[in-house]
């Protein structure tokens, strides 16, 4: 059953990686604006030469 030590160690390291990823995202402002991207994704890209009126 000593494998438990290894497994728990792994799970904690994995969890720490996720926590670190969250901190990284937080510091780089990924959570600053939680609304606009949801609208932005619905807007179509338009070719630059289009002159439709």
Partner 1 sequence: MAIDTITQSTCYHCGNDCTEGHYHFDEKSFCCVGCRGVYQVLSQSGLCNYYTYNDHPGANRARLDKRFEYLDEPKIVNDLIDYTDDKITVVTLYIPYIHCSSCIWLLEQLNRINPAIYYSRIDFLKKQVNVRFSNDGMNLRQLVELLFDIGYEPLISLQDIVKKQLTGQKDNLVRKIAVAGFCFGNVMLISFPEYLGLSEYEQTFRQFFGWLNILFSLPMVFYSGTEYFVSAWNNLRNKVLNIDFPLALGIAVLFIRTVAEILLHTGPGFADTLCGLVFFLLVGKFVQRKTYYHISFERDYRSFFPVAVQVMEEGKEKPLPLSELKVGQRIRIRHNEIIPADAILLQGEALVDFSFVTGESVPVAKTLGEVVYAGGRQTGEALELEVIKPVSQSYLTQLWNNEAFTRQQDNRMRTFNETVSKYFTIVLLVVAFGSLFFWMPADIGRGLSAFTAVLIVACPCALALSTPFTMSAALSIFDRNFFYLKNTAVVEQLARINTIVLDKTGTITTGGSSNAISRHAEFTDLEKQIIYTLCSNSSHPLSRQICQVMGEQPRLAISAYKEIPGKGISAFVNSHQVKIGSASFMHHGVAVNSGTEVHIMIDDVYCGAFIFKQSFRNGLREIFGLKPQYKFYLLSGDQDHERAAMAEFFGDDGYMHFKKSPQEKLDFIKSLQLADRKVMMIGDGLNDSGALKQSDLGVAITDDVNNFSPGSDAILDGKSLCKLPAFFRFSKDTVNIIHISFLISLTYNLIGLSYAVTGNLSPLIAAILMPLSTATIISFTSIATHVAAKKRKLL
Q: Which of 10, 11, 24, 30 touches partner 1 (CB under 8 A)?
A: 11
13 counts as binding partner 1 under rule CB under 8 A: no
7 counts as binding partner 1 under rule CB under 8 A: no
CB of 28 to partner 1, least distance (A): 13
Residue with Cβ nearer partner 1 (28 or 32): 32
Instruction: Output b/e per residue, 24-48; b: 16+ Cβ within 10 A.
Output: eeeeeeeeeeeeeeeeeeeeeeeee
Distance CA 14, CA 8 (A): 10
């Amino acid at each position: 059953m000593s494998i438990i030590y290894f497994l728990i160690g792994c799970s904690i390291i994995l969890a720490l990686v996720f926590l670190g990823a969250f901190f990284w995202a937080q510091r780089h402002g990924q959570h600053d604006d939680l609304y606009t991207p949801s609208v932005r994704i619905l807007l179509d890209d338009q070719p630059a030469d289009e002159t439709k009126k």
